[in-house]
Amino acid sequence: MTTTFFVFAILCLSIVSCTKKETAEQTTASGLVPSKFETVTEEGKTTHLYTMKNAQGMEVAVTNIGGRIVSIWVPDKSGNFQDVVLGFDNVEQYVPFNTNFGAIIGRYGNRIADAKITLTNRANYELRKNDGKNTLHGGARGFHTRYFDIEQPDSLTLICTYLSKNMEEGFPGNLYVTVTYSLTEDNALDIKYEATTDLLTVVNLTNHSYFNLSGDPDRTILDHLLYLDADNYTPTNEELIPTGKIEKTAKTPMDFTKATAIGDRIDDVSFEAIKFGNGYDHNFVLNNPGDINHVAAKLTSPASGISMEVYTTEPGIQFYTGNFLDGSNIGKKGIAYNFRTALCLETQHFPDSPHRKEFPSTELYPDSIYQSQTIYKFSIQ
């Protein structure tokens, strides 16, 4: 009798202990379990989940694979906190590398036509094709698939570093990359990019977070209001490769110089750019390139009241409305990510710049430093 009671008591204590352990692991405000982000990569490196949190309660979580932003936790108009980016609640779902959720994108964000480049020194390079005959976001094994070493010098800073080796995905030069995430006390996520090379190469880094400011990824983003400080955009062909032209947004579905609901004109396939993109998937030419103090874009969810301003030193911004989301990815909290349930605002140099001398150059020389900065600042509208 005593022995039976003793065994029963031990079992109860074990259950309580396990429950307490699981509860203790719920250390992120958005409900992520850090142990689910720990694994050993094929290179023998261990992945983790890192968090930054400010005094206002805003929290940003990042993991090593792709230096990905896993969650951004911000307050809404009712004082409740919402996770406003898409992603997964475990590292295993990031490892298949078939998504870009939250990732650092490189070596070249967006598309390069025919998967080849010719540099000003007349060197020719064949890149890895992963978008038909073109290269998209640095190739199939771009930065979104790579392990970033992450250091956390303080509670508001994460420093992500990666060495992209010479000829990785066909790009020349050993590229030393540092991406620094900083969380400010006024609820802004400041992203600074820096890179150096030992050979002439091309670089175009960005972040591929998918935003839904309602905090509910079951909702589409069609009611979100968007402002873009862009009087022009770069039209594309059917493969979404720029034609080289720069055209006016005025009096077209591309005009967001006044805050407009995204769904108002997204299905106007009588406009060629909308038809080719199956919605919005376009590079907008910013009116104030290089000015980090000027609002390049502003996004607002009427449902939550959460607003996000975008500041950048880049000359362009890719506005993408989740047109390829199809419910096949099951994200955080078991929610399927369906058509147009998130959007991206990817600050960037223009797509296919290596083939377009009229576009701002993306070449980086060995004696130069690539530097770029983008800020996503959150508030309540």
- Annotated active-site positions, please? 208, 346
Q: What is the DSSP letter of 345?
A: E
Burial zone of 78 (CB within 10 Å; 0-12 exposed, 13-18 middle, 19+ buried) = exposed
Q: Which residues contact 259 (CB under 8 A, 6 or more apart)?
A: 225, 226, 227, 298, 300
3-state secondary structure of 111: strand
Q: Which of 138, 187, 133 lies closest to 306 in space, CA to CA?
A: 187
Cα 226 to Cα 309: distance, rounded to the nearest angstrom:
10
DSSP code per residue over 127-185: PPP-BTTBEETT-TTSGGGSBPEEEEEETTEEEEEEEE-TTGGG--S-EEEEEEEEE-T
Q: Cα–Cα distance between 186 and 343 in angstroms, integer?
A: 23
